[in-house]
Amino acid sequence: MPVPLLDLKIQYQTLKPEIDAALMRVAESQVSILGPEVDALERELEAYLGVKHAIGVSSGTDALLMAMMAYNIGPGDEVLMPSFSFFATAGCVSRVGATPVFVDVDPVSFNVDPELVRRAITPRTRAIIPVHLFGQAADIDAIVAIGKEHNIPVIEDAAQAIGTQTADGRRVGSIGEIGCFSFYPTKNLGALGDGGLVTTNDDDLNIRLRQIRNHGMEPRYYHKIMGGNFRLDAMQGAILRVKLPHLAGWHAGRRRNAALYTNLFREAGASVLLPTSVYAGTSVDSHIFNQYTIRSTRRDELRAHLQAQGIGAEIYYPVPFHRQECFHSLGLNDADFPVSNELAESVMSIPIYPELTEAQIGEVVETIVAFERTSAF
């Protein structure tokens, strides 16, 4: 039985009448960019996330870039971030001419280590970008406390973590100065194309970010600050509005699947390392499992074996930032990032989407356990 890493067609089939109607509504209105659908989505996401302002934008990558532009970050400035994340976290910093400063991560949560963040601060540090990787909350309170101490804004990369909560129930992306989200189709709340969101509780930043979204224009054809075309399409807004009420159910499905995996792997005595929730035992969505990421010392063989059996598995991420060719000029020391290096060589994400059946999950576990037995782990 093939088990794909992700199957978005099932989700579309269950929502097809509503999504098709939403698309037709936009077509009939011929308001194709921003407009009432995006406005309504923004108000609905403000309520869901518990944040004062939500600004619909063109992608998660652009959300991060806009945050850099909102703080006028540029040449000579340093921005701290984990060395283990998706490229966009670092790319936004280099694109404005600033210097990304990589910090190693925690081996349990895969998220940035606050103590290493503290040690990496210099007089040139202008922002900290923690990432809530794979849907699990980073130690955001510790990082925000460090930011406050040094008067440095915290920009949360919550691209993989829409809805993720801290132990006391606050949603990530509503805690630092700015939150950045992605509606890329593989994220837990996905559009039918690119889309993203910027959030803030600060009224001045809200105004500034809305100007940046549309070429820094206010009023029309008067440009006070530098901006770009970072607008969200109405079609994406309309689709996301259909999906948002289902998000809690999808999160619950992913958590149920994660618990199933964890139990089955334990019962079988599997030797792969399992993801651990840092707030395990609490009832909040502290991990929305955008990915269920296991670790194996023989990861590449295991992945090839799964693929040969028709089971999807992907490596997020095979190369940490400090080893990327485009950052060679930063002259970084590989030995400063032991955890990121270890993760890059051992992590593998397996299917976790909410519509997976128990039989499919059982199949994935059995295939992995059989491989471990036959190849004498």
Ligand X SMILES: *Cc1c(COP(=O)(O)O)cnc(C)c1O
Is residue 176 a contact point for ligand X (CB under 6 A)?
Answer: no
Is residue 317 a contact point for ligand X (CB under 6 A)?
Answer: no
Stretch of 57-65, 241-249, 264-272, 276-284 contacting ligand X, by CB under 6 A = 57-65
Taking residue 334's Cβ as centre, other Cβ atoms within 10 Å add up to: 11
Q: What is the DSSP string of 186-237?
A: TSSS--SS--EEEEES-HHHHHHHHHHHBTTBSSTT-BSS---B-BPBHHHH
Q: How many chain residues bind ligand X (CB under 6 A)?
A: 15
Is residue 199 a contact point for ligand X (CB under 6 A)?
Answer: no
CA 69 to chain centroid, in Å, comes to 20
Token code pair at residue 243:
């999906």
Is residue 196 a contact point for ligand X (CB under 6 A)?
Answer: yes
| Residue whose pair of structure tokens reads 């996905």 in the numeric block | 190
Token code pair at residue 218:
């206010």
* Residue (89 or 109) nearer to ligand X, CB: 89
Query: For residue 182, what are the β-bridge partners?
Result: 196
| Residue whose pair of structure tokens reads 């792969």 in the numeric block | 272
3-state DSSP: the chain helix, strand, coil percent, rounded to 5? 45, 15, 40
* Residue (90 or 264) nearer to ligand X, CB: 90
Query: For residue 287, what are the β-bridge partners?
Result: 136
| Integer Cα distance of 341 and 146 in angstroms | 25
Q: How far is the CB of 147 from ligand X (least distance, A)?
A: 19
Taking residue 31's Cβ as centre, other Cβ atoms within 10 Å add up to: 14
Binding residue (CB under 6 A) for ligand X from 22, 49, 61, 311: 61
Q: How far is CA 263 from CA 257, 260, 266, 292, 365, in A?
A: 10, 5, 5, 14, 10
Is residue 291 a contact point for ligand X (CB under 6 A)?
Answer: no
Strand pairing category for 292-295 and 155-157: unpaired
Is residue 236 a contact point for ligand X (CB under 6 A)?
Answer: no
Site for ligand X in 119-148 (CB under 6 A): 131
Residue nearest to ligand X (CB): 60
* Residue (71 or 230) nearer to ligand X, CB: 230
Contacts with ligand X, 74-103, as mask; x by CB under 6 A: -----------xx-xx--------------
* Residue (88 or 155) nearer to ligand X, CB: 88
Is residue 172 a contact point for ligand X (CB under 6 A)?
Answer: no
Binding residue (CB under 6 A) for ligand X from 11, 59, 166, 199: 59
Binding residue (CB under 6 A) for ligand X from 11, 109, 160, 360: 160
Binding-site ranges for ligand X (CB under 6 A): 59-61, 85-86, 88-89, 131, 157, 159-160, 182, 184, 194, 196
